Amino acid sequence: MRRSRAILTVLTTGALTAGALTVLSPAADAASTLGSAAAGQGRYFGTAVSINRLSDATYSSILNREFNSVTAENEMKIDALEPQQNQFNYTTADRLITRANEMGAKVRGHTLAWHSQQPGWMQSMSGTALRNAMKNHITQVMTHYKGKIDSWDVVNEAFDDSNGGRRDSNLQRTGNDWIEDAFKTARAADPAVKLCYNDYNTDNWTWAKTQGVYNMVKDFKARGVPIDCVGFQSHFNSGSPYPSNYRTTLQNFADLGVDVQITELDIEGSGTTQANTYANVVRDCLAVTRCNGITVWGIRDSDSWRASGTPLLFDANGNPKQAYTSTLAALGGSTSSPSPSTSSSASPSPSVSQSSGTRACTATVTVNAWTGGFVTSVKVTAGSAALTGWTTGLTLPAGSAVTNSWSATASGTSGAVSFTNVGYNGTVPAGGTTEFGFQGTGSAPSTTATCTAR
Ligand code: XIL
């Protein structure tokens, strides 16, 4: 049973309810590729793919081995898919879908509405005609790729670099509502796929551009404009360095109720500095429950759009760089252990539960009490499998009552009470944590809590 439940008492790491299971065997075979290590954390690790490089044997074999998500570097852009108005050419892009299916990889769709890489006919359009052409493009392309794409970059790079406002473009000049019009059109075309806004220089929380995008997403959520995710391109270099508040940025966006994805990662540099920055980016994503995955913008340095900055994980010969090793390690993988057959590819054994597939969690309780009241914070830690939800329970002393809680839904206010994840914090990667809290009157509960994983 995949959804078997496991109950653990705080600070004990054993004792599962599901009978006859060996518990939490230490990670005997750490994943040895980026994709399998990320999968072990409930994430994907992807790359941009340039379709004409698939015939390069080195490129192709690294792609197959390491990645479980792909983005077309150019082949799903507007000029590629609709070279003449209303004449769509899907042949090249469809090859990537076929390849992704062969690899068992997800596909990020990139990108439906953008000021750049527009076909000539679109560049010279304006007003209602352009708005309608944009909507037609979104509808046609999304219909063609229905069911084949995990997340679409619906709108790309719509914000100005310095002032936090909109970028001037022919699309922007069709009216300020062009972005929400694009998202509404996208939702109507395919209600199942995730719809993302994607941009660069939105990594540093203090930058005006970051705030501009944040405020737009907040407004969309408040008004019910459909948006599911925000993509952070994260092209890091000396002019746009990795910021120490990157995790804060990702978390603040996630707290708006959207997923976050690192969509075009490349980090110019070399050696230990570059390796450390890659590891920091990975750790930041893993720390944010709603960070779905990371895509690097190419495989070898020589494949990069910024090749001179050697910003990727493999050198021109296809050898893994120091940055590769640090990235893999940050994902919880290891190059030293030859994992025989990566377990994350979910062998569909119908009745036998593997310990690695058994969800478990622990709850650690911290109490700050005073005469007549208390505040309790609880850290939920996933076991060796990612969680899709959790409930923790504890017992209040007679006369005590919960008055309010945050980041969890409370059931009961006195005696035995329980707290269940809310929408945005049910998913916890293997070994990851999430926190919630509650306040109450009376004397404090003991620090013993149960944790039930889903
Ligand atoms: C780049 C590609 O890597 C290049 O091959 C192409 O010449 C230009 O576009 N932001 C994006 C990507 O959203 O689509 C861009 O890709 C890089 C910046």
**pLDDT reported for residue 407:** 80
User: Distance from the CA of 437 to the center of ligand 1, in angstroms?
Assistant: 43
Q: How far away, in angstroms, is 73 Cα from ligand 1 center?
A: 6
User: pLDDT at residue 18 above 70?
Assistant: no
Q: Is ligand 1 within 6 A of the CB of residue 74?
A: yes
Q: How far is CA 292 from the centre of its chain?
A: 2
Distance 200 CA to ligand 1 centre (A): 11
Dihedral angle at the C-alpha atoms of 394, 12, 330, 71, nearest 10 degrees?
Answer: -50
- The pLDDT value recorded for residue 336 is 54
Coarse DSSP helix, strand, coil percentages of the chain, rounded to the nearest 5 percent:
30, 25, 45
pLDDT, the chain, mean: 88
CB 236 within 8 A of CB 268: yes
Identify the pLDDT of residue 361. Answer: 87
Q: What is the pLDDT of residues 106-127, one digit of tens each?
A: 999 999 999 999 999 999 999 9
Give, for ligand 1, the residue of 264, 302, 306, 308 to mutate: max count of ligand atoms closer than 8 Å to Cβ.
Answer: 264
Would the CB of 199 count as within 6 Å of ligand 1? no
Confidence of residue 368 (pLDDT cuts 50, 70, 90): confident
- Indicate if the pLDDT at residue 353 is higher than 70: no
Q: What ligand 1 atom has the least distance to the C-alpha of 200?
A: 10
Is a pLDDT exceeding 70 seen at residue 24? no
Give one DSSP letter per residue of 108-173, joined into a string.
EEEEEE-SSS--HHHHT--HHHHHHHHHHHHHHHHHHTTTT-SEEEEEE--B-TTTSSBPP-TTGG
Confidence of residue 7 (pLDDT cuts 50, 70, 90): very low
Distances (CA, A) of 172 to 67, 115, 167, 230: 35, 9, 7, 19
pLDDT value, residue 251: 98
Which of 161, 305, 312 maximizes ligand 1 atoms within 8 Å of its Cβ, making it the mutation to test the pocket? 305
What does each C-alpha distance from 109 to 50, 97, 170, 195, 352 come to in angstroms? 14, 10, 22, 10, 36
* Ligand 1 atom nearest 263 alpha carbon: 13
Structure tokens at 177: 């509502």
- Phi and psi angles of residue 351, each rounded to the nearest 5 degrees, phi first: -120, -20
Report which ligand 1 atom has the smallest distance to the Cα of 297: 3
> Tell me, what's the pLDDT at 29?
57
Query: Residue 357 Cα, ligand 1 centroid: separation in angstroms?
Result: 38
Alpha-carbon distances, residue 65 vs 33, 45, 62, 69, 235 (angstroms) = 7, 11, 5, 12, 24
Average pLDDT over residues 167-173: 98
Over residues 138-151, the pLDDT tens digits come to 999 999 999 999 99
Ligand 1 pocket residue status of 240, Cβ below 6 Å? no
156 lines ligand 1 (CB under 6 A): yes
Geometric angle at alpha carbon 108, from 105 and 111, rounded to 5°: 155
- Is residue 2 over pLDDT 50? no
Q: Is 140 in the pocket of ligand 1 (CB under 6 A)?
A: no
356: pLDDT strictly greater than 70: no
pLDDT beyond 50 at 22: no
- Residue 405 confidence class, pLDDT cut points 50, 70, 90: confident
- CB of 306 sitting under 6 A from ligand 1: no
The segment with the largest mean pLDDT, out of 168-177, 345-354, 442-451, is 168-177
305 C-beta closer than 6 A to ligand 1:
yes
Q: Is the pLDDT score of 3 beyond 50?
A: no
State in Å: Cα 239 to ligand 1 middle: 18
348 has a pLDDT exceeding 60: no
Confidence of residue 435 (pLDDT cuts 50, 70, 90): confident
The distance of Cα 296 from the centroid of its chain, to the nearest Å, equals: 13
Assess whether pLDDT exceeds 90 at residue 156.
yes
Nearest CA to ligand 1 atom 7: 305
pLDDT reading at 8 higher than 50:
no
Looking at residue 101, its pLDDT comes to: 96
Encode pLDDT of 34-49 as tens digits. 999 999 999 999 999 9
Percent of the chain beyond pLDDT 90?
A: 72
Per-residue pLDDT band for 27 (boundaries 50, 70, 90) equals very low
Residue 395 has pLDDT above 90, yes or no: no
CA angle in degrees (0–180, nearest 5) for 191-193-195:
95
User: How does residue 446 score in pLDDT terms, banded at 50, 70 and 90?
Assistant: confident
Model confidence at 340: pLDDT above 80: no
pLDDT, mean of residues 287-297: 98
Cβ atoms < 10 Å from Cβ of 276: 17
What span, in angstroms and rounded, lies between the C-alpha atoms of 258 and 42? 17
Alpha carbon nearest to ligand 1 atom 16, residue:
73
Ligand 1 center–CA 76 separation, angstroms = 11
Query: Of ligand 1's atoms, which has the minimum distance to the CA of residue 153?
Result: 13
pLDDT value at residue 75: 98
Q: Which atom of ligand 1 is nearest to the CA of 50?
A: 5
Percent of the chain with pLDDT over 70: 89
Catalytic residue positions, numbered: 264
pLDDT digits (tens, 9 = 90+) for 220-272: 999 999 999 999 999 999 999 999 999 999 999 999 999 999 999 999 999 99
| pLDDT, tens only, 65-89 | 999 999 999 999 999 999 999 999 9
| CB hemisphere CA count around 437 (13 angstroms) | 8
At residue 184, the 3 state secondary structure works out as helix
- The confidence score (pLDDT) of residue 342 equals 32
Q: How far is the CA of 138 from the centre of ligand 1 (A)?
A: 19
Ligand 1 contact via 339 beta carbon (within 6 Å): no
Tell me, in angstroms, the distance from the centre of ligand 1 to residue 156's CA.
Answer: 11
Q: CB–CB of 304/311 below 8 Å?
A: yes
Cα separation, 63 vs 299, in Å, equals: 8
Assess whether the C-beta atom of 233 lies below 6 angstroms from ligand 1: yes
* DSSP H or E segment with residue 57: helix 57-66
| CA 366 – CA 380 distance, rounded (Å) | 12
- What is the per-residue pLDDT for 247? 98
> In one letter, which amino acid is 198?
N
